[in-house]
Amino acid sequence: MRHSLSQTRQSKRKPFLGVELLEGRDVPATTFTVSTLADSGTGSLRDAIARANDEGTNLGPDTIVFDPSLAG
């Protein structure tokens, strides 16, 4: 069986493999500030942890920071 020149070239071609860049998929971190030394309630460490762990409303990474005015 004879092959034409174009058939021979086609059979020797290697498949082209490429990489396609995708847009970034980063989720911005939510920051919760501890503003009171109280054991519970708004601004407490307990509240910040509970809100950070609530993946239903806060997806992705979270950061908890302390108000610099806290002392205790």
Whether pTM exceeds 0.75: no
Mean per-residue pLDDT of the chain? 84
Q: Please tell me the predicted confidence (pLDDT) of residue 18.
A: 85
Residue 47 located in a structural domain: yes
Domain count, the chain: 1
The more confident residue out of 20 and 35 is: 35
Distance between CA 27 and CA 72 in Å, rounded? 34
- For residue 15, tell me if it sits in a domain: no
Residue 22: is its pLDDT beyond 70?
A: yes
Residue 51 CB burial class (10 angstroms; 0-12, 13-18, ≥19): middle
CA separation for the pair 36, 39 (Å, rounded): 8
36: in domain: yes
Q: Provide the pLDDT for residue 29.
A: 82
Residues of the domain holding 61 = 27-67
6: pLDDT strictly greater than 70? no
Question: What's the pLDDT at 13?
Answer: 75
Q: Is residue 40 assigned to a domain?
A: yes
